[in-house]
Structure 1
Amino acid sequence: MTDIKILFLFLIGDVGFIFVNGQPVNCSTEERCNCTLGTTYLIADCSGLLLQKTPNFTENVTIIDLGFNRIQTFPTNLPPHVTHLNLTGNSQLKDIKKNDLNRYKQLQHLVVSYCYLSRIEKGAFERNENIEYLDISNNPKLTLSVLNNITTDLQSSKIKTLLLDKLECTYGVSVAFLSVYVEHLSNTTLETLSVASNRISYFEHKVFDVLPKTLREINVGDNDLGYGLYLYVLSNLRGVQIINATFQNSFHLKRRLQDSCLEPWNSETNEEPLQGEKGSQSSSKISSPFAIRESAKSGHYKGSFLTFFIPPSLERFYFHDNMYKMEIKRYQFNTTDGSRKLTHLFLQNNIFYKLTGPLIGFQGVQFLDLSNNLCTDISIHFFQEFYGLLNLNLSKNMLSTCIENDLEGKIFKRLKKLKVLDLSFNRIRNLPYSIFKNMEELTNLYIKSNSLETFSIAIDHMPNLSFIDLSNNRIAYFDASMQTSLQGITENQRIQINLMKNPLQCTCKTLTFIKWLQTYQAHILDFKRYNCISSNSSILKFHDSKRIISSLEYLCATYITLIVVETLLLIIFLSLTIAGILNRYKWRLRHLFYIAKRRHVEVQHLQTIKSDTYRYDAFVSYADEDKDFILQKLDFLEEKSNLRLCLHSRDFIPGTDIADNIVNAIHQSRRTLCVLSSHFFDSYWCMYELNMARMESIYSRKGSSILCLVVLNKTVFQNIPLKVVDLFENQTYVEYYEYENNDTPFWNKMCQILQS
């Protein structure tokens, strides 16, 4: 169908040229025909007139268009020098007889597509040696069996283009393409062969042996091709530069089925079915699918991967829009002469769900399209042979997890010459910073329609980067490092960035980014059409970006002052809170600190508690001014009453911190005796000993009272600090001044208390 359109464009183009430089003339008995005289030829356009009979033309007419009429028989009354004849779309035309074209020896182009042909007799084209272009496509009643008649007639012709599309019924059974169909073409100069839409399931492997060496393009699209032995003899197509194998196993939906074309062989043809043709394939020499499979096992499938020999001149391979669901594993593609001319691979719109590879032998490929394949994973080895790749399309897949986990850029490591990369429509949420670290030649990067919230990648090594498409993502802003990288590229390269349809933020946090956009708006595609979202969720238009920046600067300046004040207040509040907590629990903290400093204190303490014994019966805390009160009764207390007392002036270990000595003394004494006087409250270390004894009582002795308070005189109550008032409210104390006349009862009572 594509070639038909090309022919029409060719004809229309010529007509248009003639109308400008030529002159209209009368060339046919049908007045409605449009006749145009050129410098070397005369065109008669009678298409679309619903003619049932062919009109007569003047002898100098060389190009005739009779398409889309109702002509029932092949016209035999045309000028003998006609070179181009178009009969496409004549649905009443049923056959071409042997002598119908005998007088048209100068005929070069013949189109008989979209007719109702059911028979072409052998010998119909045998006298048309100058024919170069023949199109009999879309005549499904002919079937492929007609090819023997046609190719036999063309073996001595100048045929260059042969279009044989849709000669089989759409809903017929699958067929094999036999070598006898084309063996007569081996000595022709055929360059283009199309056998698309014929339900071909496989080719007899000899087909590629008998095709002419001049063949440059072959179209086998829209068939039912599967795996077969023919795949291993593709190298015999030595001159083929383009192979079209698209739309394999496609689903066709039509309003009605043409039951008349479902027969395996059409009896209306003059020829009997060839040996091996449809209807007698049981006697064919072609291998059955089972034989092909066994052949592949025995010689062509070796090791852990398949090796194919492709045509040595192949430049473009179209293999898109097929219904093949498969993982692309390791395959090797070689040529018999070692040449690497393949430059374009079109593999889009398939179901290649996993790209494992590697594909060996594609070092010369420059363009690779793997888009829309439902692919979820690409191995780090897949691209290792694509050294020369310039353009890679991976759009419309599901590569988010694969790309996001490639933190070191191993997938694209070998693509150092790549210039264009398309990762659009892949649901990517984040791009690792080093994902493209080896792409020094990259010029165009397409990442549109993903789910990117940030865009921060290494691009400093890409001096030729000229276009980045980030449209339709979730990007709010570029961070400072990305802005710097892009700024460096803009100094030497005319780069364009597309950020359309991103939820850009216009807030104090992104003010620097908005200013950057304003400064480099010449590099931002359609900058004036952008919108951004403010902190109150309103939409701001970038066509007045200066006003947006001014408003943000004013708002953010006030906001910054507020932040500074609030921060200072918060610091002050936290400082006061922490200071209050430390002051409230300072003795507890000190106690814990000194307890922790002592080695094995907890073990010793547990042993002490368990045995209910202490080194001292009491630690005596007193001011130096009151030492006589203790020392004069020391003999009585220690010798007569057998009390073990700890005095700081006598029992503290020299060289040890005073605080450590105090904690150790309290910890190793059953009780702490505090001799309270005005001097006591004025002494720092006395107050330290009192508070440490309180902490010991509360936290280390499980709340048991270890303090024994002795009040020397009444004046003590006048100088009590507020911090220890609660002691006198909750703690029992002994008043010494009541026993001043006779202190013996006092000391006896004190001994009892300390021994209890």
Structure 2
Amino acid sequence: MLGTATVMSTFLYTLLGLTVGSSLHCAVRREISPCSCRQRDGSLQVACERMASFAQVRDAVAGKFAPEQRVTLRIAYSSLPDLGQHRFDELGFTVTSLKLNHDNLSLLNDEAFNGLEWVEFLSLADNALPEIPQYVLKRMPHVKTLDMGRSKISTVLENDFKSVPELQHLFLPGNMISKLEKNCIPYILRHLHIGRNRIESLNGSLRHLNDLEWLFLNQNQLVSLEDELPPDGAKLILLHVSDNKLQKLPQDLRKYIYLESLFVSKNEIQSFNGTLQKLRKLKRLHADHNKIKELSSDEFMDLENMEDLQLGHNCLSVLNGSLLPLRSLRCVNLTHNLFENMTLREITGLRNLRVIDLSHNQIRHLSSGPMTQNLVELETRVAELRLEYNLLTALDGSLMGLHGLQKLNISHNLIETISPDDLINLDELKVLDISFNRLTTLEETSKTVLPALEFLYVSNNLLTALEKDFHGLPVLCWADLSHNQIQTVGQDLIAHTRCRRFGVYDTLRIYVDGNPIVCGSELEQAVAAIEAHYAKIHGVLECTTTNLTTVAVTIIE
């Protein structure tokens, strides 16, 4: 959890433009040891770690910089039992950014913070502070960013931030906050993170935050957001309320016309109730792990900029054409729902799709999109289609209307045959996974050409022979045929195949573990012919002789 929290803090600082640049020469580097320094944009960044006392910090850096020198000071992983006996103005330079992290601080003497009136960034994260240190903040009236994440704060009081009127960015994640007093959050706040706490109600504390641009409320115990968020949300770009107990989205959300990212995963939401229809700027919607049962046909009516839609782990059984307006959609995740029948008409005209994930459903029948003369206008492009772990028995030519398909996963189904129409026009397909099905032959791949296919996975089926199965696969480089019922291998298997990737010839690798191949001169000739044609057979064959005894034959590099 600590690593995740650290990554998130770095991400948030990056959003605010608070990242640190590359290290440059620091003239007093040796003089301030064991502290270190680096320089950027006219400001020195001084770091002191694993210090035994504040006095040690003072002795290392005091008098080493000019009084007017602007310094970012970080004291971390240290023990500061004497902090209350000293003052920061003893250091003799101008601190504009102060970070006291992982110092096991629980009580703060406000007088120790004398001389910090120019601090704009203050981080007291990763300590054991039980409350917001009001009197300390009075010493730093120009603080614009305050980070007190991962401490032991339980309540945010109305007067906690009165002494920092310029505060715009507030981080309080990973505390034990259960109570927010009504007017405790500053009005001009632009960025607020109070995720990973114990908040059951916002108590109207955010209602007045009209300048808010992003808001993190994730991993709390919120049951409702109705009449809790800013009424128009005119500037809100990101809202993260995942991992709560919400049963519906607030109606105020309809007015958040500049919202780009909405994260509502791991709640108890059953329906969107039309709250998203007009959010034209919305690019990312993560609503997985909810209880959503239905999408209306106009659910995403004006969401023309939507790129990433995560609806996995819900209770959906139909789409009702809800995806058709999403012309910018690149990724849609519908895994672990209740779909039994799926038609590719649901994505007709979507040209930017990279991934559609329909895995782990109950799909028994997959049908194609409409046959139309206006192929240019309604062209549908998908790069990766995931249908593994369903109940398909056949494809029924359903993929004919898809363009640009590069990866197809139909493993772990009940497919018994591949028909002539199933693979037609898949000219860009590079990866085909049909493992864990009930196929007895790959005859169709000898007739239908897949000019770009490089990887073929057909393990754990019921194949009995390999003859001309690869004749339609001119550039195949990897074939997993393990754990089938293959008894014979033909010499002409790869007569029309020469592995080529990125325009470079390579070796075709064929994996045949766990097959009852019949031993004899024909097998020897087939293996020799195959390996003479720039291919290699890998695996241990349970090789059956003509007198029905079994001989282990190892064919590996």
Q: TM-score, normalised by structure 2?
A: 0.67
SS at match of 2:339: strand
The yes-or-no answer on 1:524 pairing with 2:536 is yes
Gaps of at least 5 residues in structure 2 are 24-34, 39-44, 62-68, 77-99, 300-317, 371-377
Q: Report how many aligned residue pairs link the two structures.
A: 464
Per the alignment, do residues 112 and 140 of structure 1 end up closer, same or farther by CA in structure 2, a change over 3 Å counting?
A: same
Aligned partners of 1:420 and 1:345: how far apart in 2?
Answer: 15
Correspondence for 2:234 among 155, 164, 187: 187
In structure 2, the residue matched to 1:209 is: 254
Per the alignment, do residues 407 and 370 of structure 1 end up closer, same or farther by CA in structure 2, a change over 3 Å counting?
A: closer
C-alpha RMSD of the superposition: 4.8
Per the alignment, do residues 326 and 84 of structure 1 end up closer, same or farther by CA in structure 2, a change over 3 Å counting?
A: same
The answer as to whether partners of 1:476 and 1:502 remain within 8 angstroms in 2 is no
SS at match of 2:444: coil
The answer as to whether partners of 2:461 and 2:484 remain within 8 angstroms in 1 is yes
Correspondence for 1:150 among 206, 227, 231: 206
In structure 2, the residue matched to 1:221 is: 265
In structure 1, the residue matched to 2:148 is: 87
Deviations 1:527-556 (A, max 9, x none): 5x756647453434446x8xxxxxxxxxxx
The answer as to whether partners of 1:140 and 1:167 remain within 8 angstroms in 2 is yes
In structure 2, the residue matched to 1:552 is: none
Aligned partners of 1:448 and 1:20: how far apart in 2?
Answer: 57
Aligned partners of 1:103 and 1:436: how far apart in 2?
Answer: 78
In structure 2, the residue matched to 1:282 is: none
Displacement of 1:497 in angstroms is 2.2
SS at match of 2:340: strand
Deviations 1:171-228 (A, max 9, x none): xxxx6664x44454532151x3222222334436x55531232x33322222233356
The yes-or-no answer on 1:135 pairing with 2:193 is yes
What one-letter code is carried by the residue in structure 1 that aligns with 2:356? Answer: L
SS at match of 2:267: coil
The yes-or-no answer on 1:499 pairing with 2:499 is no
Per the alignment, do residues 48 and 156 of structure 1 end up closer, same or farther by CA in structure 2, a change over 3 Å counting?
A: same
The answer as to whether partners of 2:498 and 2:505 remain within 8 angstroms in 1 is no
The answer as to whether partners of 2:339 and 2:363 remain within 8 angstroms in 1 is yes
Higher CA-based Rg: 1
Correspondence for 1:116 among 176, 188, 204: 176
Correspondence for 2:495 among 461, 484, 499: 484
The yes-or-no answer on 1:126 pairing with 2:166 is no
Displacement of 1:384 in angstroms is 4.5
In structure 1, the residue matched to 2:160 is: 100
In structure 1, the residue matched to 2:219 is: 166
Whichever structure has more strand as a proportion of its residues is 2
Aligned partners of 1:61 and 1:476: how far apart in 2?
Answer: 75
Displacement of 1:26 in angstroms is 4.8
Deviations 1:368-391 (A, max 9, x none): 33333x333455264344323332
What one-letter code is carried by the residue in structure 1 that aligns with 2:266? Answer: D
Displacement of 1:456 in angstroms is 4.8
In structure 2, the residue matched to 1:680 is: none
What one-letter code is carried by the residue in structure 1 that aligns with 2:125? Answer: L
SS at match of 1:6: helix
Displacement of 1:511 in angstroms is 0.7
Deviations 1:11-51 (A, max 9, x none): 99978966997375459998499999999744444555554
Per the alignment, do residues 534 and 244 of structure 1 end up closer, same or farther by CA in structure 2, a change over 3 Å counting?
A: same
In structure 1, the residue matched to 2:458 is: 447
The yes-or-no answer on 1:511 pairing with 2:524 is yes
Per the alignment, do residues 150 and 11 of structure 1 end up closer, same or farther by CA in structure 2, a change over 3 Å counting?
A: closer
Per the alignment, do residues 325 and 456 of structure 1 end up closer, same or farther by CA in structure 2, a change over 3 Å counting?
A: farther
Displacement of 1:437 in angstroms is 1.9
What one-letter code is carried by the residue in structure 1 that aligns with 2:159? Answer: N
Taking every aligned residue pair, what percent have the same amino acid on both sides? 18
The yes-or-no answer on 1:328 pairing with 2:388 is no
Per the alignment, do residues 417 and 382 of structure 1 end up closer, same or farther by CA in structure 2, a change over 3 Å counting?
A: same
Correspondence for 2:361 among 328, 351, 366: 351
Correspondence for 1:246 among 285, 288, 291: 288
Aligned partners of 1:503 and 1:209: how far apart in 2?
Answer: 59
In structure 1, the residue matched to 2:381 is: 364
The answer as to whether partners of 2:396 and 2:422 remain within 8 angstroms in 1 is yes
What one-letter code is carried by the residue in structure 2 that aligns with 1:187? Answer: A
Aligned residue runs from structure 1 range 620-699, under 5 A: none
The yes-or-no answer on 1:6 pairing with 2:66 is no
SS at match of 1:392: strand
The answer as to whether partners of 1:468 and 1:498 remain within 8 angstroms in 2 is yes
The yes-or-no answer on 1:53 pairing with 2:107 is yes
In structure 1, the residue matched to 2:437 is: 426
Aligned partners of 2:470 and 2:462: how far apart in 1?
Answer: 20
The answer as to whether partners of 1:370 and 1:394 remain within 8 angstroms in 2 is yes
Whichever structure has more helix as a proportion of its residues is 1
Deviations 1:679-699 (A, max 9, x none): xxxxxxxxxxxxxxxxxxxxx
In structure 2, the residue matched to 1:539 is: 552
The yes-or-no answer on 1:318 pairing with 2:360 is no
Aligned partners of 1:140 and 1:422: how far apart in 2?
Answer: 45
Displacement of 1:156 in angstroms is 1.6
The answer as to whether partners of 2:260 and 2:281 remain within 8 angstroms in 1 is yes
SS at match of 2:525: helix
The answer as to whether partners of 2:240 and 2:264 remain within 8 angstroms in 1 is yes
Per the alignment, do residues 249 and 127 of structure 1 end up closer, same or farther by CA in structure 2, a change over 3 Å counting?
A: closer
Aligned residue runs from structure 1 range 391-402, under 5 A: 391-395=407-411, 397-401=412-416
Gaps of at least 5 residues in structure 1 are 170-174, 251-288, 297-303, 546-756
Q: TM-score, normalised by structure 1?
A: 0.51
SS at match of 1:407: coil
